[in-house]
Amino acid sequence: MDEMTVALIDELTRMGAERGDLSGVEVCVRRYRDAFRDRPLEAFRNHADAMISRLASKAAVVTGRTVQVRRLANMLSRGLYDAADLDEALILFKHVVMMVGGEIRTAEPCNCRRSFESCAYYIESHLDEALSLSGLAARYGYSPSHFSRKFKERFGVNPSTYILNARLDQAAAMLEGSDLPVSDISRQCRFGSQSHFHSQFQERYGTTPRRYRLASRHGVASECGVGRPTERMHDHV
């Protein structure tokens, strides 16, 4: 089965999850089984993990609960790496996409085709890439100054601050849901240096990345107030 066919199955899975169409998702799961049965289990795990991440990015924008949605998706997708075989991984994948899709279905109605909601979705889905004000403005047909002003009217912060906050929230979810070294997380979230990552993370979460990970692993973050993000860090003057 070629990659174009797999991409079509991905899209049908996404649509089914967002509509709550369990039978449609189950059909897609059977097609995934055909597509990946002769490949290493790791290939499906990586593919499924990326699929869940994209779905979670949309759910984060639609619900406005970036930290919680990413945390949920990371926690659930970790089970993929404990699956003994493809059938077990497929069953878990089905439940995860339906659960994350449910976050989208139960959110207040939001037309994500509108330019700025669409832009926020684009940002959340491309945090591992270079994102610039001029590039985003051109993509959505605005001058940089007009785009920045309208974006801030919609989200309360300028695009650069929104991107920074989204990357910090992604890093927090990775600290909770993976065993990657802090240096790798900093690099994957596109921070230029570990010192910059540490200072920005501490400003948003009130603690260092390592302490945040330790508190989350011991289940004490919520009780002692460690790692609670501000609603959105304000623009720096």
HSE of 150, CA atoms in CB hemisphere, 13 A? 17
Burial label, 187 (beta-carbon count in 10 A; 0-12, 13-18, 19+): middle
Whole-number pLDDT of residue 4: 77
- 3 state DSSP class of 232: coil
CA count, 13 A, side-chain hemisphere, 17: 27
Output phi, psi for 195, to 5 deg: -65, -40
pLDDT confidence of residue 235: 59
The whole-number pLDDT of residue 121 equals 82
Q: What would the two tokens of residue 181 be?
A: 């070294």
Structure tokens at 120: 């926020």
Sequence-distant (6+) residues with CB within 8 A of 173 are 67, 70, 71, 73, 74
* CATH 1.25.40.10 describes domain 115-224: no
Cβ neighbours of residue 58 closer than 8 Å, sequence gap 6 or more: 104, 112, 121, 124, 125
pLDDT at 233: 54
The pLDDT value recorded for residue 141 is 80
Which pLDDT does position 107 carry in this prediction? 65
For 235, residues 6+ apart whose C-beta sits below 8 A from its C-beta are 152, 157, 158, 160, 161
For residues 114 and 144, what is the distance between their CA atoms, to the nearest angstrom?
Answer: 18
Cβ atoms of 125 and 39 within 8 Å: the answer is no
Is the four-CA dihedral 101, 95, 82, 79 of positive or negative sign? positive
Q: At what angle do helices 3-19 and 86-105 cross, to 10 degrees?
A: 50
Task: Tell me the pTM.
Answer: 0.57
Centre a 10 Å sphere on the Cβ of residue 164 and count the other Cβ atoms it contains. 21
| Residue stretches of the chain with pLDDT short of 50 | 108, 110-113, 222-225, 231-232, 237
Would you list the domain boundaries of the chain?
Answer: 3-105, 115-224
Q: What is residue 71's predicted lDDT score, i.e. its pLDDT?
A: 74
Structure tokens given for 128: 């591992």
